[in-house]
């Protein structure tokens, strides 16, 4: 069954003028992006493709471990597995030999004993994976040199569940010109650094033999996923090298383990990051432009992380496949990563922010609304910039993440941290009631009040408050969400003592 048929297209659907994408795809994707969501997870990356992937999230049977399948399925669903599966995506000549198309050439573990519905579900997923591994489409030619790159994407199901895709593209071994190939790991776990190291080990074994990948991945699949700050050791045998012990350590501050702020601040100045944050916090339409997939992936995840403890609630696609470029036409908020060669198809849109991340850019903000510098209160802008100036060029990734996170967490504490006093509970009520007007009027600063009035209208704030109201226990009986999230972070970093006074004053 073709992808067009999955979306209800006819056998010979009319194609879209810009991309060759069936018009039924475009209509479906834009309609999907226009829906207002009520689930935090239902609005994550790969929105159009995620809906294309399927309506249910299933865990197919593993024929290699049928006796233990029930427990293994539970382990994966509960997030205890490192990964669901590994695939290799290669570029193969089309039947007429005029171009290339991505195809799955290796998969571990194999799923030969699945039921019909599970098989169909997996076929949809694998199709989506090939699109994200090679979002450029058919524009490829054999190469003699290619700098490998690692990036990530997310597959989102219609029920809101999501799986992370980690991808490394490189030039396979051989002589002469040849197209690159991609290794892709699908996992429910968000930990970019950890999977980058796993790719290093997979690549090392691939250089010797494809057969060497299987025993390593089998050992990894059987290993328990470590808790934050812990390490798991994998024993693996390599001919000529003997048995190796591979240590995989999970970062202590687990909510940032999928984030590396270095790329964000390498591409943008502190002041430019602040303007992007301002547009993001008001849930605007934002497109990031770069040629490198790794840059797009890292920057867009870093921008979303600046919102913590709030969560981006709308369309989020770190790397937009070429055939889905019309997603920029969606009228609702989005964070999109688009390769620079597609820039002309983006800039004809109005009412959005287009951010160029390229090293050779002439200007950073290709398109803007013009009011980004006035969104945040001036005093708090200065405080964020002052906090960011405390980072050092020699900072480790963990140190940089801590400095950046503190700066933006402090901003939310200063603007909306007093909300706990305005959730009222009664003995008879099953949920609390947030007093919007009293909360807003309690803010003394006019500039802060002006910002908060707009922020209160965002979906991220609305759902955050809904979560709080649904808690049946009072804040003094059970920590409220913001304090709980902030304390969880600050107890994991060296700056805990400095911030304890601020948190206790809330």
Q: What CA–CA distance (Å, rounded) separates 416 from 310?
A: 11
**pLDDT computed for residue 440 by the predictor:** 92
Terminal C-alpha separation, the chain: 57
Kindly report the CATH number that applies to the domain delimited by 39-256: 3.30.450.200
- Predicted pLDDT of residue 407: 93
Strand boundaries in 340-480, DSSP class E:
353-356, 365-367, 423-424, 433-434
**How far, in Å, are 161, 188, 398 from residue 313 at the CA level?**
14, 19, 26
Question: Sorting pLDDT into bands at 50, 70 and 90, what band is 239?
Answer: confident
Bridge partner list, 249: 231
pLDDT of residue 253: 65
What's the pLDDT at 494?
34
Cα of 237 vs its chain's centroid, Å: 33
What is the C-alpha R_g of the chain? Answer: 24
Q: Which residues pair with 316 in a beta bridge?
A: 335
Output the pLDDT for position 122. 79
Domain boundaries along the sequence of the chain: 39-256, 267-375, 380-504
pLDDT at 312: 92
How many percent of the chain have pLDDT more than 90? 35
Q: 119: number of CA atoms within 13 Å, CB side?
A: 6
Q: Is 377 helix (H, G, I), strand (E, B) or coil?
A: coil
pLDDT higher at 78 or 266: 266
CA 457 to the chain's CA centroid: 24
- What is the tens place of the pLDDT at every residue in 340-371? 999 998 987 778 999 999 998 999 999 999 99
What is the predicted pLDDT for the residue at 144? 81
Confidence class for position 298, pLDDT limits 50, 70, 90? very high
Q: Is the omega angle on the peptide bond into residue 311 within 30 degrees of 0, that is, cis?
A: no
Rounded mean pLDDT, 366-391 = 94
Among 100-109, 385-394, 478-487, the least confident range:
478-487
Beta bridge partners of 89: 104, 182
Strand pairing category for 85-93 and 181-187: antiparallel
Q: What is the pTM of this model?
A: 0.76
Question: What is the chain's mean pLDDT, rounded?
Answer: 77
For helices 378-388 and 397-416, the axis angle rounded to 10 degrees is 160
CATH 3.40.50.11720 at 267-375, yes or no? no
Higher-pLDDT residue of 497, 231: 231
Q: How far apart (Å, rounded) are the C-alpha atoms in residues 472 and 468?
A: 9
The pairing of beta strand 315-317 with beta strand 285-290: unpaired
- Residue 306 near residue 451, CB atoms below 8 Å: no
- In 3D space, the residue among 274, 263, 353, 272 whose CA is nearest the CA of residue 306 turns out to be 274
The stretch 223-250 carries a mean pLDDT of: 85
Residue 498 has pLDDT above 80, yes or no: no
**Alpha helix stretches (DSSP H) within 143-259:** 192-206, 213-222
What are 143's two structure tokens?
A: 């190469």
pLDDT value at residue 159: 66
Residue range 6-34, pLDDT digits in tens: 333 444 445 444 434 444 444 433 433 43
Instruction: Tell which wins on pLDDT, 475 or 245.
Output: 245
Tell me what pLDDT residue 120 has. Answer: 81
- pLDDT tens, residue by residue, 170-192: 888 788 888 899 999 999 888 88
Distance CA 32, CA 44 (A): 12
- What crossing angle do the helices spanning 270-281 and 293-305 adopt, rounded to 10°? 60
Distance (Å, whole) CA 308 – CA 166: 22
**Cα angle value 323/187/3 (rounded, 5°):** 30
């Amino acid at each position: 069954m073709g992808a067009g048929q999955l979306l209800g297209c006819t056998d010979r659907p009319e194609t879209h003028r810009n991309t060759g994408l069936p018009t039924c795809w475009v209509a479906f994707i834009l309609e999907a992006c226009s829906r207002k969501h009520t689930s935090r997870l239902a609005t994550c990356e790969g929105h159009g493709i995620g809906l294309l992937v399927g309506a249910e999230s299933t865990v197919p049977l593993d024929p290699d471990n049928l006796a233990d399948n029930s427990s293994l399925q539970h382990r994966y669903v509960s997030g205890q597995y490192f990964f669901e599966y590994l695939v290799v995506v290669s570029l193969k000549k089309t039947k007429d030999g005029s171009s290339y198309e991505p195809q799955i050439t290796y998969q571990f573990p194999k799923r030969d004993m699945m039921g019909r519905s599970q098989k169909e579900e997996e076929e949809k997923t694998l199709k989506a994976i090939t699109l994200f591994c090679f979002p450029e489409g058919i524009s490829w030619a054999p190469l003699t040199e290619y700098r490998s790159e690692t990036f990530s994407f997310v597959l989102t199901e219609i029920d809101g569940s999501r799986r992370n895709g980690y991808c490394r593209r490189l030039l396979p071994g051989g002589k002469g010109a040849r197209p690159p190939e991609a290794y892709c790991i699908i996992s429910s776990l968000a930990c970019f650094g950890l999977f980058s190291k796993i790719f290093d080990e997979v690549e090392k074994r691939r250089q010797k033999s494809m057969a060497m990948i299987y025993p390593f991945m089998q050992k990894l699949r059987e290993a328990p996923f470590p808790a934050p700050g812990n390490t798991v050791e994998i024993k693996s045998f390599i001919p000529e090298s003997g048995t190796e012990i591979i240590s995989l350590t999970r970062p202590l501050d687990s909510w940032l383990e999928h984030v590396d702020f270095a790329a964000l601040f390498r591409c943008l100045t502190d002041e430019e990051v602040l303007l992007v944050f301002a547009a993001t916090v008001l849930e605007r339409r934002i497109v990031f432009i770069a040629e490198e997939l790794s840059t797009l992936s890292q920057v867009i995840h870093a921008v979303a992380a600046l919102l913590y403890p709030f969560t981006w609630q709308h369309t989020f696609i770190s790397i937009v496949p070429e055939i889905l470029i019309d997603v920029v036409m969606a009228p609702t908020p989005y964070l999109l990563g688009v390769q620079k060669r597609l820039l002309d198809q983006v800039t004809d849109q109005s009412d959005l922010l287009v951010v160029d991340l390229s090293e050779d850019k002439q200007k950073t903000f290709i398109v803007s609304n013009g009011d980004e510098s006035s969104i945040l209160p001036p005093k708090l802008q200065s405080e964020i910039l002052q906090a960011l100036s405390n980072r050092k060029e020699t900072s480790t990734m963990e140190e940089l993440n801590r400095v950046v996170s503190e700066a933006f967490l402090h901003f939310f504490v200063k603007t909306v941290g007093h909300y706990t006093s305005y959730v009222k509970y009664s003995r008879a009520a099953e949920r609390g009631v947030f007093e919007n007007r009293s909360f807003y009027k309690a803010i003394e600063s006019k500039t802060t009040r002006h910002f908060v009035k707009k922020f209160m209208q965002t979906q991220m704030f609305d759902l955050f408050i809904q979560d709080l109201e649904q808690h049946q226990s009072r804040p003094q009986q059970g920590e409220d969400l913001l304090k709980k999230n902030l304390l969880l972070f600050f107890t994991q970093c060296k700056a805990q003592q400095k911030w304890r006074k601020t948190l206790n004053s809330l």
